[in-house]
Chain A
Amino acid sequence: MTFSPQLEERFAKMLTRYPEGRTRSAVVPMLMYAQDEVGAVTKELVEEVARRCKVTPLQVDEVVGYYSMLHRKPQGKFHVQVCTNISCLLVGGEELYEHAKKKLGIGHKQTSADGQFSLEEVECMGACSWAPAVEINYDFHHFVTPEKLDQLIDGLRKAQ
């Protein structure tokens, strides 16, 4: 498997960061960045990361099952993550999540039929003082109201 030149450069550097013989340390970050490019952690990707980090595929596989941001199936092009943890809960996070479900017509960890959007109810993502918060892919949105969420989603749809 080969990745884009930018990612290949990142991985080459990544493997030199850790003490000698400790390339296993690159497993989690490598999976995170590769997943963004490949779309999901496929069996092929697990084997590739294992080869590059000099570990067994099983050692990579057990990691994939542990971390909530690693996923084996592709998510939507826009992954909408709505926080409902305590700080968000107090200012309408759950209602916002219910609204997002209706707006997108999908539920927790589901992807829309056209593959454009996926939705996830997430745990605290560190935006408590600017709640309720939504993260779309890696972009944070603060003080999100149902109206603001509609605008965000409509904007992304239009940009297609």
Chain B
Amino acid sequence: MSSMKVKAKEKDGIVEVKALIKHPMETGQRKDQKTGKPIPAHFVQQITVEQGGQTRVSADWSGGVSKNPLLFVKFKGGAKGDMVKVAWTDNQGGSDSAEAEIK
């Protein structure tokens, strides 16, 4: 059901979070090759990475980020066993989230 795979790893006090998001990331500049009509912009706009009740890192994206994008960020303050949640919203009102345990 989730569009995302999330992994979180702690080493030397730094938590690395990697998320792979399945999303078309359309810029709105492309045209449908059959109909010639523009394909509407459809891209992840905002992402949050949460742990311990805090947003550790957030990101704002445009359609200039690649299709099925990767997110790789880091933060301090999490420990092995804690849960990390990655959540995104897109420009068409879509959203999704996934959690992973810090290993």
Asked whether A and B interact, the reply is no
Using a CB–CB distance below 8 Å, which chain A residues touch chain B? none
